[in-house]
Chain A
């Protein structure tokens, strides 16, 4: 992040003890709202986040198109990298949780979800974009909703209406008198809490990560005056460190998001006792 980018980011030339008396312009919720490129806030609009979402899907499709359009039995470098990514999701997540037989038909969905989420997270540290699409709740919520619908339909298709209900509520006769309480808790957990936390876990991680990056970049700009320069240096080092950390968190969150989706399906496909 250069100083020029930062002036673009908050437009105010405000520095530590510069005599103007301006305070530290910390990141706010406004940092996550973009002026629409066209349209207006009231109805239909198109903003930077949407642009990044569409660009991201083009990047993913482009990458896999280049790698898998004409795949070779003896792979080239690009194909090898793409195969490694594909195999990571297929074997490392789907087969591990659902098994090869049951999991096979969910592989394309999970691969798409993993790379989609990862790409949307990656925008956070890609120069000029520098905003994680998943830090806007709409994107994780959309994915979580799709997974929720899939999970519920698999549950009822597999076990029928009564069996599906038993599956969702964790029905188990051996629990005896606590069974009604367990059923209520499980019902709320599965039907309401899980999809919500599924989306919010990803959203909040990326939201917090972006806030941290903003905080340190704004600080290194704000402190760039007089004695503050030394602290600006420290803050800038933190920007670098947090960027590296974000790179890690982005991959982990994408992994966790897909792993949770698989574990929901695993529960739905499990035989009831």
Chain B
């Protein structure tokens, strides 16, 4: 590795280029320039261009996706609004139906109550009539028996008896009428 010149010869002016080194220097530079200019830089330029396109393509794709997402969102929103509208309509309908049903049931109840009341009234009237009929007979019989015992004669004669009782009761009713 002892490459230094230590001989006594005068070194030449350092600003005067030695021709062999000039030539080698240019050759070395041409090697570098040739490889870079002919092969390696075109290579990388192509890839840089591809990368730029890939990035731009990616941006375009993203934009397309965004547009699609926007339209789908709008569609969904429209569908949702429609569904809400439908639900409101159904609710309204159900409410109306419910109200009608309630009304109907109430009317039915009312009618049944009135029927029951009417039936009750009729029953009561019939019962009273029957009771008053029975009472009249019983009261007549009792009164006749009592009168027979008091008068000492038999008032068993049916015809007379009936007439007398009827007359008596009619008088009572007339009195009641008059008193009213």
Contacts and interface: CB of A to CB of B under 8 A. Distances in A.
Interface residues of B, number: 39
Interface stretch (B36-44, B71-79, B106-114, B163-171): B36-44
Contacts of B2: 8, 11, 35
Contacts of A29: 11, 14
Contacts of B44: 67-68, 71, 79, 82-83, 86
A201 B41 CA distance: 28
Contacts of A68: 40-41, 43-44
Given A8-B1, A35-B2, A138 B32 contact: no
Chief secondary structure at chain A's binding surface: helix
Interface residues of A, number: 62
Interface stretch (A47-55, A156-164, A172-180): A47-55
A195 B127 CA distance: 146
Contacts of B22: 138-139, 141-142
Contacts of A50: 20-21, 24
A34 B29 contact: no
Given A64-B35, A141-B22, 6 more contacts: A34-B3, A35-B4, A54-B31, A68-B41, A137-B17, A138-B21
Interface of B: 1-6, 9, 11, 14-22, 24-29, 31-33, 35-37, 40-41, 43-44, 46-48, 50-51, 54
Interface of A: 8-11, 28-35, 37, 41, 44-50, 53-54, 56-58, 60-61, 64-65, 67-73, 79, 82-83, 86, 107-109, 111-113, 115-116, 128, 133, 136-139, 141-143, 146, 200, 203, 207
29 contacts: A11-B2, A28-B11, A29-B14, A30-B4, A34-B5, A35-B4, A46-B20, A54-B24, A54-B28, A57-B29, A58-B31, A67-B44, A71-B44, A73-B54, A79-B44, A83-B44, A107-B41, A108-B41, A113-B29, A116-B29, A128-B1, A136-B17, A136-B21, A137-B14, A137-B17, A139-B22, A142-B22, A142-B25, A200-B15
